[in-house]
């Protein structure tokens, strides 16, 4: 149960930090009820066919192929492939779709590739605090 609680704590902490960054950028701490109505309208008009395609093929089928392929490779090779998955996705999007990144794209890439180090440092800080007492 310990690692699950740690992950939930980190996600909650990250959500709070992300919300506070949004408050600093927008300068607004209040909710607007009209925004909920517009969000509900978008949810009701949601394109279900692309969502099903993404869920079944892009996620389900790809994960099934990855899991069955892991039987034939070592743990080290598997870790490298999984660790570079965001890089592969960006590379394929660049090659096949012609996507190019702006400032927010590079910032997002830094977050995706650097999140593990942040989690590691937070985990070490939490462990030092726990073991100190």
| Over residues 102-115, mean pLDDT | 80
pLDDT at 13: 80
Note the pLDDT tens digit of each residue in 8-17.
777 778 877 8
CB atoms within 10 A of CB 115: 13
Inter-residue contact 109 to 86 (CB < 8 Å):
yes
Note the pLDDT tens digit of each residue in 30-55.
555 555 555 656 556 666 666 777 77
How far is residue 50's CA from residue 26's CA, in Å, rounded to a whole number?
31
Query: Dihedral (C-alpha) 81, 85, 53, 14: value to the nearest 10 degrees?
Result: 130
Mean pLDDT (the chain, rounded): 75
pLDDT at 7: 73
In this prediction the pTM is: 0.40
């Amino acid at each position: 149960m310990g690692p699950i609680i740690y992950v939930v704590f980190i996600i909650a902490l990250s959500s709070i930090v992300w919300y506070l960054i949004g408050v600093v950028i927008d300068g607004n701490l209040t909710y607007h009820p009209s925004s909920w109505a517009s969000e509900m309208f978008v949810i009701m008009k949601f394109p279900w066919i692309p969502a099903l395609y993404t869920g079944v093929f892009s996620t389900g089928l790809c994960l099934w192929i990855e899991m069955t392929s892991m039987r034939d490779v070592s743990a080290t090779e598997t870790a490298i492939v999984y660790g570079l998955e965001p890089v592969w996705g960006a590379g394929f999007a660049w090659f096949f779709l012609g996507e190019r990144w702006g400032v927010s794209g590079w910032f997002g890439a830094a977050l995706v590739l650097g999140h593990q180090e942040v989690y590691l440092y937070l985990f070490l800080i939490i462990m030092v605090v726990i073991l100190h007492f």
